[in-house]
């Protein structure tokens, strides 16, 4: 079935401009949504926990920061942009007691609804506006007059206007400049988790690290290995982004293209595809969600260990040295947060 895609002309910005929005969290997504909502003429306040590291940044940007409970009580659209594993506690303690008839509860990712961690009451709209890109680029694209595509979904339409409200919100953060696709909480959650685990983050990071290891273990200079498997990856992906895999293949040499066509499927072999299917199965049957929630509740021992191992990988040291020589590359991921 063809998806529905909406653009600026389909959205009514005045809907979100007529509401009071609370953004809970001021991290990667939170700062991008809040600043762009404000720049789009929306009445926005930020809800943060006591002692939050993010408070100073939000206040420096001229935003009004309240406690989560105060922000939720004041607002009629509450967008939860705190970490997925913390959302249910924040919701139960600080948001649920302040929900009123006609309020809207918004999410930037469907995890807590898809896995039944948050169960909102029947008298509020429950919708999602999920940018398909990192928050810092969501903001950077907005400032540059462009946008990151967004997904919208409505889980509960108490008002009868939840979709128009979600589309209006998506337009206010620049999403409708690029395209807003209608989906469901289930489809967004499962595809987002699969994408980040198998391809965008897990797959790509492991591919780059393994390529670097193969070259350096074979005696090649780490600097050459770094340029080959990491730095140049962006240039190749930029071509895919602009014109698909076909454009990338048009631009590379025919020697590279022959290697691509014949060796690529050996790297991403049928066994890799089978593993990807297993990963998708663990997302669909809730295994991954249960594991991640339990890992967080246990204080993240495995997460911390693996993150540290990643930081110690030799490619990070080589990369830092080389990026220090290319002033334009190591641009702060945002000028605002």
Ligand X SMILES: NC(=O)C1=CN([C@@H]2O[C@H](COP(=O)(O)OP(=O)(O)OC[C@H]3O[C@@H](n4cnc5c(N)ncnc54)[C@H](OP(=O)(O)O)[C@@H]3O)[C@@H](O)[C@H]2O)C=CC1
Of 79, 124, 131, 173, the residue at the interface with ligand X (CB under 6 A) is 131
Q: What x-and-dash track marks residues 206-225 binding ligand LWWEY6Y5 by CB under 6 A?
A: --------------------
Min CB(94)–ligand X separation in Å: 7
| Annotated binding-site residue? 228 | yes
Map residue 128 onto helix, strand or coil. strand
What tokens does 133 get? 């890109």
Q: Which of 190/257 has CB closer to ligand X?
A: 190
| Contact partners, residue 221, CB within 8 Å, separation at least 6 | none
Length of the chain: 337
Min CB(29)–ligand LWWEY6Y5 separation in Å: 8
69 contacts 202 by C-beta, under 8 angstroms = no
**Which helix (H) or strand (E) is 104 found in, with range?**
strand 104-107
119 contacts 91 by C-beta, under 8 angstroms = no
Site residues for ligand X, 40-79, by CB under 6 A, read: 48-49, 52-54, 68
Q: Which of 21/48 has CB closer to ligand X?
A: 48
Query: Where on the chain is the footprint of Mg ion (CB under 5 A)?
Result: 192, 196
Report the C-alpha gap between 222 and 316 in whole angstroms.
11
Site residues for ligand X, 76-115, by CB under 6 A, read: 81-84, 86, 90, 108-109
| Annotated binding-site residue? 8 | no
Choose the contact partner of 42 out of ligand X, Mg ion, ligand LWWEY6Y5, none; CB within 5 to 8 A by kind. none
CA atoms within 13 Å, Cβ hemisphere of 104: 28
Stretch that binds ligand X, among 27-35, 69-77, 98-106, 113-121 (CB under 6 A): 27-35
Give how far the C-alpha of residue 199 lies from the chain's centroid of Cα atoms, to the nearest Å: 14
User: How does DSSP classify residue 145?
Assistant: T
| Annotated binding-site residue? 135 | yes
Choose among 110, 142, 61, 104: nearest CA to 45.
Answer: 61
The answer to whether residue 136 is catalytic is no
Of 5, 200, 214, 235, the residue at the interface with ligand LWWEY6Y5 (CB under 6 A) is 200
Phi/psi-derived region of residue 6, left when phi > 0, alpha when psi is between -120 and 50, beta in every other case: beta
Distances (CA, A) of 229 to 200, 208, 279, 311: 15, 6, 25, 17
| Contact partners, residue 84, CB within 8 Å, separation at least 6 | 109, 111, 112, 292
Site residues for ligand LWWEY6Y5, 114-143, by CB under 6 A, read: 133-134
| Annotated binding-site residue? 308 | no
Q: Which of 196/242 has CB closer to Mg ion?
A: 196
In a 10 Å sphere around its CB, with 0-12 CB exposed, 13-18 middle and 19+ buried, how is residue 281 labelled? exposed
Q: Which of 31, 109, 136, 231 is catalytic?
A: 109
Stretch that binds ligand X, among 24-32, 120-128, 252-260, 292-300 (CB under 6 A): 24-32
Q: If binding is defined by CB under 6 A, does position 222 make contact with ligand X?
A: no
Backbone angles phi, psi at 49, to 5 degrees: -75, 160
How many residues line the site for ligand LWWEY6Y5 (CB under 6 A)?
6
Q: Which residue ranges make up the site for ligand X (CB under 6 A)? A: 24-30, 48-49, 52-54, 68, 81-84, 86, 90, 108-109, 130-131, 134-135
Q: Annotated binding site: which residue ranges?
A: 26-29, 52, 54, 135, 192, 196, 228, 232, 253
The residues carrying an active-site annotation are 109
Q: Annotated binding site for substrate: which residue ranges?
A: 253
């Amino acid at each position: 079935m063809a998806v529905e895609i909406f653009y600026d002309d389909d959205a009514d910005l005045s809907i979100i401009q007529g509401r009071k929005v609370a953004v809970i969290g001021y991290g990667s997504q939170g700062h991008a949504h809040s600043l762009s909502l404000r720049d789009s003429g929306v009445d926005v306040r930020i809800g943060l926990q006591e002692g939050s590291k993010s408070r100073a940044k939000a206040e420096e940007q001229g935003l009004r920061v309240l406690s989560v409970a105060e922000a939720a009580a004041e607002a009629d659209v509450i967008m939860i942009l705190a970490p997925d594993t913390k959302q249910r506690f924040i919701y139960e303690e600080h948001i649920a007691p302040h929900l009123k008839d006609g309020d809207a509860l918004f999410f930037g990712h469907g995890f807590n609804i898809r896995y039944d961690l948050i169960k909102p009451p029947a008298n509020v709209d429950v919708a999602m506006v999920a940018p398909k890109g990192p928050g810092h680029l969501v903001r950077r694209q907005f400032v540059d007059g462009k946008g990151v595509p967004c997904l919208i979904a409505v889980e509960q339409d108490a008002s009868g206007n939840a979709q128009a409200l979600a589309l209006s919100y998506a337009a206010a953060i620049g999403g409708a400049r690029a395209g807003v696709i209608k989906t469901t909480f289930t489809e967004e959650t499962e595809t987002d988790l699969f994408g980040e685990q198998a391809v965008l983050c897990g797959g790509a990071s492991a591919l780059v690290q393994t390529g670097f290891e193969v070259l350096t273990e074979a005696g090649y200079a780490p600097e050459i290995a770094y340029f080959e498997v990491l730095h140049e990856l962006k240039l190749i992906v930029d071509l895919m982004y602009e014109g698909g895999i076909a454009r990338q293949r048009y631009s590379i040499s025919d020697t590279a293209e022959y290697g691509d066509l014949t060796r690529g499927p050996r790297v991403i072999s049928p066994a890799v595809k089978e593993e990807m299917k297993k990963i998708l199965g663990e997302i669909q049957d809730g295994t991954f969600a249960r594991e991640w929630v339990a890992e967080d509740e246990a204080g993240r021992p495995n997460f911390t260990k693996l993150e540290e191992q990643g930081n110690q990988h030799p490619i990070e040291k080589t990369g830092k040295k080389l990026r220090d020589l290319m002033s334009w590359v190591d641009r702060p991921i945002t000028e605002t947060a």
